[in-house]
Amino acid sequence: MVKQYGVGLELPFEIAQRDGVVDLVGQLPIVELIPESFFFGKKDEFLEMLKKSEVPVVIHSVEMSIGSSGEFHQKHFNQIKQVMDQVNTVFYSDHLCFTKFDGIEIGQLTTLPWTKQIMDGVCDNISKIQDQTQVPFLIENITNRFVVPDSAYSETEFINRILEKTGCKMIMDLANTYINSVNFGFDPYKWIDEINLDFVEGVHLAGGDEEDGVLYDSHGSNIPAPVWDLYAYLAAKKTPQFTIVERDQNIPTFEELMHEVKVANGILEKSAMPGLSESIGQVRREARSL
C-alpha cells in the first residue's frame, strides 16, 4: 500500500531561525526544504534537529535546471545530495523549467519550449538524477511568465509524456495552476483533468500576489479560495502522498501556518469519505459548466 504522509509545511530559512520551530516540526507529518538555502554548512544544527526528530523531508531544489538540454549540473547536484543525506529524505523534487543556460544563471524559473528536443533533454537529466538517488524524484509545474509560440505540445501533454517516459512523479502546484489559468485564460479544472493523475504524488498550496491584473507566485499571502477549490477537486479524484503549504514571504505566526495545514487536512478527510468525494467532484463539474 502506498504510504500517505499527509499535510506539512515548507520550512524556509526564516522559519528555521524562529523560536518554537522544534515544536512546530513536532506537529508535522512531513516538511519540505529548499536545499540551496542550507548549502555550505549553513544552519547545520537545524538539519541535525530535523534528523533527530525523524520527520520525513521533501528536498525541493530550485536550481538543478533540469530543462537545460545537454547540461547536467553534477556539482550542484552533489551539494543537494549532501543536504539530502543530512536529513530523513523521502522525496526529491525540482521544477520543470530551466534556470541556467550555457552554464549562466538566469535567476528565475523559466518556461521551457514544449518541444520533443527539449523533452529529450529533460528526460536525460531526470534519468541522471534517478540513477543517483534512492528516493522518488518529482517534477513540479511552474508559473509561466510566457508561453513559447509554436510549441509542439500543450503544457499538459509535455508533462504527461515526461512522466510516462521517465516514471518520475509530479508535484502539482495548484497555486501555479490557478495563477496560469487566470493569466492565460484557461480552465484550471480541465488542466487537472488532462494530467495523468497516476503520477501525481505531491501537491503544493500557496498564495500569490497581483500587480496590474497579473498574478505572481510570491508565496507571500494566504492560500486563496480558488486554490482551495482546486485542492478539493483534485483530492476527490486522487489522494496525494503528501501536501505542502508553501510560504516564503510575509511569513505569519506558526498558528496561522498551522491553520492552513488544518484546512488542507479537513479537505483530505472529507474527500476520503465514501460518497462525498463523488459529490465534491459533481459540485465542481457543475460549477465549471455554469
Residues that bind Fe ion (CB under 5 A): 173, 204
Judged by beta carbon, residue 261 or residue 280, the one nearer Fe ion is 261
Nearest approach in angstroms of CB 97 to Fe ion is: 11
Cα–Cα dist 115/4, whole Å: 34
Inter-axis angle of helices 116-131 and 155-166, to 10 degrees?
A: 40
CB of 155 to Fe ion, least distance (A): 15
Question: Does residue 250 contact residue 220 with C-beta atoms inside 8 Å?
Answer: yes
* Strand duo 214-216 + 209-211: pairing: antiparallel
SS3 11: coil
Residue 152 beta carbon to Fe ion: minimum distance, rounded to whole angstroms:
26
Of 62 and 135, the one with the shorter C-beta distance to Fe ion is 62
Residue nearest to Fe ion (CB): 204
Choose between 178 and 233: whose C-beta lies nearer to Fe ion. Answer: 178
CB of 61 vs Fe ion, minimal distance in Å: 12
Closer of 94 and 173 to Fe ion (Cβ): 173
Q: What are phi and psi of 284, to 5 degrees?
A: -65, -40
CB of 140 to Fe ion, least distance (A): 5
Could you identify the residue written with the cell 494530467?
Answer: 195
Name 31's bridge partners: 9, 57
212 CB burial (10 A radius; 0-12, 13-18, 19+): exposed
CB nearer to Fe ion: give 260 or 280. Answer: 260
